[in-house]
Amino acid sequence: MQLTELTATEQSALLAKGELSARELIEATLRRIEAVEPRIGAYNTVMAEQALAGADAADAARRAGTAGPMAGIPIAVKDNICTLDSPTTCSSRILAGYVSPYEATVVTKLKAAGYIPIGKANMDEFAMGSSNENSATRTVANPWDLTRVPGGSSGGSVAAVAAGEATVALGSDTGGSIRLPASYCGVVGLKPTYGMVSRYGLVAFASSLDQIGPISRSVADNARLLQAIAGHDPRDSTSLPGSPTDFAAQLTAGVKGLRVGVPAEMMGDGVAPDVTATVQRAIAALKEQGAEIVEVSLPHSQYALPIYYLICTAEASSNLARYDGVRYGPRAADAQDLEDLYVRSRSAGFGPEVKRRIMLGTYALSAGYYDAFYGRAMQGRTLIIQDFVRAFAAVDVLISPTAPDTAFKLGEKVNDPLSMYLADVMTTTVNLAGLPSLSVPGGFDRLGLPIGIQLIGPAMGEPLLYRVAATLESTLGVSERRPTL
């Protein structure tokens, strides 16, 4: 196995023993990027000079005995997370040329732990999409099959990890944007409890749903990255108080005695046979390891997609009003007045999907329609939250497919927004309820495409999710497979 295919845990062990330097690891990763990036398109910006300088600093810190726990590990950062003195474009023309004058709290924290940002990852524009075909820069390809989508909106972050262009990555998840591509590309992706990770420095899409989360090749790597970025931040008013727990402490505890719930609504019609069979194998593996399997119901999950798309578009309409050609990005020339400047700048700067969601959200919030659409959606959100409360009174964790199918062909759904939105049918309920959810590789379909298993926990239940995911990782034996490029 090549150096760039190793997990962060394996790489850090070599670094600690002096068998590998941070510079050697960063140089190997940059060579990998140069070799495969023309076919993948995972990055908007590669920060080679900064990464090499960070590697030299990590090597010096290790010699001095002051290195962070993950000193030297290369990480990709989704391009909606601000990085100091480097571009943050959200893969949108309206932020072309924008260089952030500050960095997100998560970037400060991951640097303190020793991770080295190596580039800004491609994404669906403003995190709006399920395929990464909405990027204004270029479409990202799935490393397992270059004719298929990697999933979105964190497609660049996930593809970079799957292709060996970064060891780990940060993404953001508003309705499945970490977990869906993690499933499509065969890696581990976590959407943390709402407020577990600071959103300061994350460009907002839907503020009550957005969460930054870790992407990795192994469950242990994921837990360690979450450990680095989690915790209270006074600059984020929604940040949870207190210090994070030790997320990796229970990785080897097993699942004996745990009650694992299977939501009937997530295992029925519309799920591909290969996906159903993979989830059933995972359930059987947990049962064999001593878990109790319990069927549960989330009756209002059937309404999750319309509820989600009303709330997220309404919040997007509000959040994206700041992009007007005055303060950020390109400004339209020859505008006749201020209103014309707004119209021209936004028409040229936003892509079709972003425009669609802004219009839907503006309509849902408009006078005479607010109660009928946004108000009722918020009532439905409460019902979904109550469904989870009842479910977790009976079980410890839930299991389901991450997605109803494996990665679809590039261009297959780009002109069918409703079909594209249905890719999120398994994931949106979690964001509406603010709960943690993790996708772990479960197997492959008959075409050799990855299938993800979704685990859902109660609020602050990340250690439990990692405990179950580590059991699946060790018993299913699929996580060590890598795509051939």
Residue 153 a catalytic site member: yes
Residue 177 a catalytic site member: yes
Residue 109 a catalytic site member: no
Cα 155 from Cα 414, distance rounded (Å): 15
How deeply is 459 buried, as exposed, middle or buried, from its count of CB atoms within 10 A (0-12, 13-18, 19+)?
Answer: middle
Q: Which of 12, 86, 130, 153 is catalytic?
A: 153
- Write the single-letter amino acid at 150: P
Indicate the pairing of strand 116-121 with strand 168-173: unpaired
Count of CB atoms situated within 10 Å of the CB of 19: 9
Identify the DSSP state of 330. Answer: -
**DSSP secondary structure, 308-323, as one string:** HHHHHHHHHHHHGGG-
Cα 396 from Cα 400, distance rounded (Å): 14
452 φ/ψ angles, rounded to the nearest 5 degrees? -100, 145
Q: Which of 12, 86, 131, 177 is catalytic?
A: 177
Q: Which of 21, 78, 91, 479 is catalytic?
A: 78
Cα 80 from Cα 282, distance rounded (Å): 34
Residue 18 CB partners (closer than 8 Å, separation 6+)? none
The alpha carbon of 426 is separated from its chain's Cα centroid by a whole number of angstroms, namely 15
Count of CB atoms situated within 10 Å of the CB of 358: 22
The alpha carbon of 453 is separated from its chain's Cα centroid by a whole number of angstroms, namely 15
Element containing residue 39 per DSSP (H, E): helix 22-40
Residues annotated as part of the active site = 78, 153, 177
